[in-house]
Structure 1
Amino acid sequence: MKVLFYLGAAAVAISAAGAAAAQVPAQTEPMPAGPKIAENYWSAKPTRPTPYIAPNKVHWKLSEILAAHRGKTDWVQPIIRNQEQDADYISLGVGKKTKTRMYADDRVVWIVQDGSMKVTIDGVAPFVATKGFMVSVPFRHLYSIETVGDKPSLRFEVRQAGSPPLFPLSETPEAYPGRTYMKVRGSPGPATIPTGGTSNPIWVDFLKDIAVGDKPYNGKFVWDDHFTSNILRSKAAPVPPATNKGHFHVDWTEFWFIMEGKIGYQIEGFPYFEADQGDVVTAAKGRWHRAGNSPLTPMSTRIPFNPRPVILHNFEPE
């Protein structure tokens, strides 16, 4: 048992100052940008557009999600299911607390949409996350969430696809389809906790530290071999002509959480539409898509989620 939940030499060595530094918001750190591929090439695009299979759909509206669960305090709304990533909207009632858990090999991240929650992560001083907080728990770190305040907390949570949570012996595991929980010991220990100025901060307070005036922002939030998410904030812009198809990805589905303002989308097979704060939009793999800030709001921010850094963007030849 001591081995299973051992924090590892690097994590145990974190001082109080180091734990605090882990909570410092990410600095502006632009996504790496290499030169374009020099020559045009043939890219493999699906002959028929990849279908949206429930619960996946092109546009999940927060207003419709809330309406569907009106009167409830504890609920889960599945949003994304693909070969790499799962995502849900999760509401946790007043005074409720999740079971302590961890994930074996990949991080779990979430964005707080409403309410307040106390977040406890091994190796990090507990903190309260409110609307606009973006939280990232490194793999093999035990964590729990407790709703504090006078209303349920609501979060948009993204995980590795099909990854079951693991629990300390002090908890009774929650049932997981096709899995049987067994007592074990394990190695190696948890991921090293970042200590500030990195692309994988434990948390970012978006409303306090990034959504300031009309300051654009293009920085990383998560950057590892199985998870890529950055913060794209900029000013209102004209809607491009419909002839601008944007790009497509050969192997991976991309989705976005609308953090601020309105984001306009043109996705193959659908007319141009705009998504509001709290909405989730998905471009199924192989579909042309284009995202841009709406001309109707001064500043807008989208948070894209991708399973690999950096996935190939295929554009039409100039």
Structure 2
Amino acid sequence: MRIATITGTACILALGGVGVASGAWSQTPAAAPPAKEKSVLAWASKPDPMLAFDKINRPVWHLADVLAKHKGQGDWAETVAINHDVIAQWISLAPGHKTKTVFYADDRVYFEVQQGSIRVTIEGQEPFVASKHFLVQVPKRLQYTLETIGNEASLRFEVRPAGEPPQYPVNETPTPVPGFKYVQAVYSGHGDYDSINRPFIDFDKQIVQGGEKIGVWLRDDHSYVTILRSPKGVPTPPDTAWGHFHANFPEFWLIIEGTQQFLVEGEKLITAQEGDLISAPTGRWHRALPSGDGPSTRLAFIPRPDNLHWMQPEVTAGGK
């Protein structure tokens, strides 16, 4: 892989007439530059040394390991990703247990149901039951409650705003949060749903069985989650093909169907199955591709839709 490095002031060079890189390596194809736009060769800032993984932000979390750690427990939570923008957790809620009514001041909360059934009650919506592979989102300042129904604990992969404690209606008792106190105050307004941001998507019924082409699960000025489904795997590219990197934020992916392969700079090739979570720190080259004979799907999580993909020059130039 031919990648130039430089220290000091960055020089920007225009490169005309170069095509856009192959969408097969892009985690968020909707954000790739339109074909009519010219690619530009520039000096991209890249952390040196590379930003490290840590105890929470790992190259891969295998769901089987998380479940083994909490075997026999009813209510539990395991943080599997945290950054400037969001915190992601696996959360188990025992049969018959119910959350307090909460809302978040300025950002959406969203989750994928992996196991069991959850009765979801969202302000302004008819209550519904979310079962395996339902994708649910709650806009800012809409009050909501979750309740496990049936005899099986529910398990959900939930993403919330980082550093933003939940808010509560006045008839609810807030759960204490270190470093904060709750006072009574008045607010107005709330987020809403639209043609992209729906209360829920039944992935199995609408996409797998019904064939709906839903590429974006969630999109606003602070969150962007895409549903990237492939009918079958592709040959594994050489380890010199890294795909792209993001200059200002990390990315993570949740596998909800089949098998996929990930190559993150500095790590060995990762083969991931349903329920596994894979991460790439800010500034690390990475690629994600379907693997195996059958269909596979990953959810790609980034903090905003209009995001920059720094591509390899030789890949952008058609392999030259």
TM range (shorter): 0.7 to 0.9
* Distance in structure 2 (CA, Å) of the matches to 1:259 and 1:96: 25
* Distance in structure 2 (CA, Å) of the matches to 1:212 and 1:259: 15
The reply to whether residue 312 of structure 1 matches residue 312 of structure 2 is no
Return the letter of the residue paired with 2:159.
V
* Distance in structure 2 (CA, Å) of the matches to 1:176 and 1:37: 49
Q: How far has the Cα of 1:53 moved from its partner?
A: 2.5
Identify if the C-alpha distance between structure 1 residues 240 and 218 changes in structure 2 by more than 3 Å, giving closer, same or farther.
Answer: farther
The reply to whether residue 260 of structure 1 matches residue 257 of structure 2 is yes
- In the TM superposition, structure 1's runs of 4+ consecutive aligned residues that sit over 3 Å from their partners are 215-218
Q: Which moved more, 1:143-152 or 1:232-241?
A: 232-241
* Distance in structure 1 (CA, Å) of the matches to 2:238 and 2:143: 48
Query: Equivalent of 1:290, from 278, 287, 308?
Result: 287
Amino-acid identity (%):
45
Match of 2:296 in 1: 300
Return the letter of the residue paired with 1:298.
G
| Cα distance per residue 1:124-145 (max 9 Å; x no partner) | 1000000000000010000000
| Cα distance per residue 1:135-192 (max 9 Å; x no partner) | 00010000000000111000000011111100112211011121101111113x1113
Q: How far has the Cα of 1:105 moved from its partner?
A: 0.5
Match of 2:90 in 1: 89
Return the letter of the residue paired with 1:134.
L
* Distance in structure 1 (CA, Å) of the matches to 2:212 and 2:295: 8
Structure-to-structure mapping, 1:144-183, within 5 angstroms: 144-183=145-184
* Distance in structure 2 (CA, Å) of the matches to 1:126 and 1:263: 34
Return the letter of the residue paired with 2:201.
V
Q: Which moved more, 1:46-55 or 1:149-158?
A: 46-55
Question: Retained in 1: the 8 A contact 2:263–2:287?
Answer: yes
Return the letter of the residue paired with 2:270.
F
Q: How far has the Cα of 1:218 moved from its partner?
A: 5.4
Question: Retained in 1: the 8 A contact 2:101–2:172?
Answer: yes
Structure-to-structure mapping, 1:188-267, within 5 angstroms: 189-194=189-194, 198-212=195-209, 217=213, 219-234=215-230, 235-267=232-264
The reply to whether residue 50 of structure 1 matches residue 51 of structure 2 is yes
Identify if the C-alpha distance between structure 1 residues 52 and 138 changes in structure 2 by more than 3 Å, giving closer, same or farther.
Answer: same
* Distance in structure 2 (CA, Å) of the matches to 1:221 and 1:31: 12
Query: Equivalent of 1:279, from 255, 276, 280?
Result: 276
Question: Retained in 1: the 8 A contact 2:260–2:273?
Answer: yes
The reply to whether residue 78 of structure 1 matches residue 79 of structure 2 is yes
**TM-score, normalised via structure 1 length:** 0.86
* Distance in structure 2 (CA, Å) of the matches to 1:127 and 1:181: 30
Question: Retained in 1: the 8 A contact 2:259–2:290?
Answer: yes
- Structure 2 unaligned residues grouped into runs of 5+: 1-28, 315-320
- Structure 1 unaligned residues grouped into runs of 5+: 1-29
Return the letter of the residue paired with 2:76.
W
**TM-score, normalised via structure 2 length:** 0.85
* Distance in structure 2 (CA, Å) of the matches to 1:58 and 1:217: 29
Q: How far has the Cα of 1:226 moved from its partner?
A: 0.4
Return the letter of the residue paired with 1:286.
G
Return the letter of the residue paired with 1:34.
P
Name the count of aligned residue pairs.
283
* Distance in structure 1 (CA, Å) of the matches to 2:312 and 2:102: 45
Q: How far has the Cα of 1:45 moved from its partner?
A: 0.9
* Distance in structure 2 (CA, Å) of the matches to 1:63 and 1:39: 43
Q: Which moved more, 1:68-77 or 1:166-175?
A: 166-175
Q: CA RMSD in A?
A: 1.5
* Distance in structure 2 (CA, Å) of the matches to 1:204 and 1:103: 21
